[in-house]
Structure 1
């Protein structure tokens, strides 16, 4: 598929065919593409938890799902995904990398960072997985783990303290889906969001 078509087709998919697992070689390609994301100082401070067994997926949903607040239909479709990948960011990997001689920030202070690149770079990796899923003929959805469920998630999967989940990605073959009500807002045109030369 041409790259422009991959970008055009990318959308968050919230319902999956539970009877079609994602082939292992496709899972490997998604992860191989993820680790090719850019990272500050080539720190590569990310880690990916792959959940493709039914017991692991059930444990994820039990640990990471809050009260549904009327989102039962959304959750039902998402739970049909045969694959969940949870990208994690490791801030320490960045602070350690930038304390090395070629960078020289020996104090490891987070105040030197204009924004937390450990989260940004892990987000880049997540986006590459979303685009790769489209290229493989799959659907995918990135969503957050509610803050009040993070301790349960960490405990359920033994996630080390230095790794922060930035969200989770469901992946699978698409099933008929309801359009998100958010899409009624429409895509903002370029002239509303692009500035050239100066802001005003």
Structure 2
């Protein structure tokens, strides 16, 4: 697939078949995601891959049975893989304490960073993950984890130092219906002329 086509046709997918994804395909997609840029080439991201009973447990924690009757996207729960995206701020402190970066003093404390680049970088990698998944024919959806983070950390033994960015559901997409689309899909896409500011605002 040409890059422009991949970007223009990628969508957030909310309906999946239950068929598993081959491990080598997951590795290929993550390899492409890992080529995202990062500050100091720190690469301070982690993807926790959940399958089978682990995905079932994920939904039990984040979307309990009593809330599912009002959940619009029931076929989202059929996704065979959930990837939890994490950023590691301490990796940036370590990297920026190395000789070629030490003069920045950014290795001293996360509070010294004007922008949390661990979050930026993990987001870059996640975007590449979404594009890579689409390129090989998979569907994917990024979504926030607003409930149950403490339980998830305990269940999957997540180190305290890692910051949860969000989750990616991934699998073979089902044909999309209007009910599968989010309400935001109807919003018009901004044109370049609305985004570009030449020289000043």
Q: Fold match, TM over 0.5?
A: yes
TM normalised by structure 2 equals: 0.90
| Compared CA separation, residues 5 and 94, structure 1 to 2 (3 A) | same
Q: What is the number of residues matched between the two proteins?
A: 195
CA RMSD, 1 decimal: 1.7
Query: For 2:109 and 2:123, how far apart are their aligned partners in 1?
Result: 22
Q: Distance in 1 between matches of 2:70 and 2:154?
A: 25
Match of 2:124 in 1: 124
Residue 112 of structure 2 is matched in structure 1 by 112
Q: Secondary structure at the match of 2:16?
A: coil
Structure-1 separation of matches of 2:36 and 2:80: 24
Match in the other structure for 2:187: 185
Identify the residue that residue 56 of structure 1 maps to in structure 2. Answer: 54
Task: Report the Cα offset of residue 187 of structure 1.
Answer: 0.8
Aligned residue among 175, 180, 200 for 1:198: 200
How far the C-alpha of 1:107 sits from its partner, in A, is: 5.7
Q: Which runs of 4+ in 1 moved over 3 A?
A: 66-71
Instruction: Please list every run of 5 or more consecutive structure 1 residues that lacks an aligned counterpart in the other structure.
Output: none
Q: Aligned to 1:72, what secondary structure does the other structure show? A: coil
Deviation at 1:65, TM superposition (A): 2.7
Q: Distance in 1 between matches of 2:140 and 2:170?
A: 4
Deviation (angstroms), 1:184: 1.7
Classify the secondary structure of the residue corresponding to 1:50: strand
* Contact 2:32 2:132 (8 Å CA) reproduced: yes
CA distance in 1, matches of 2:106, 2:166: 30
Normalising by structure 1, we get a TM-score of 0.91
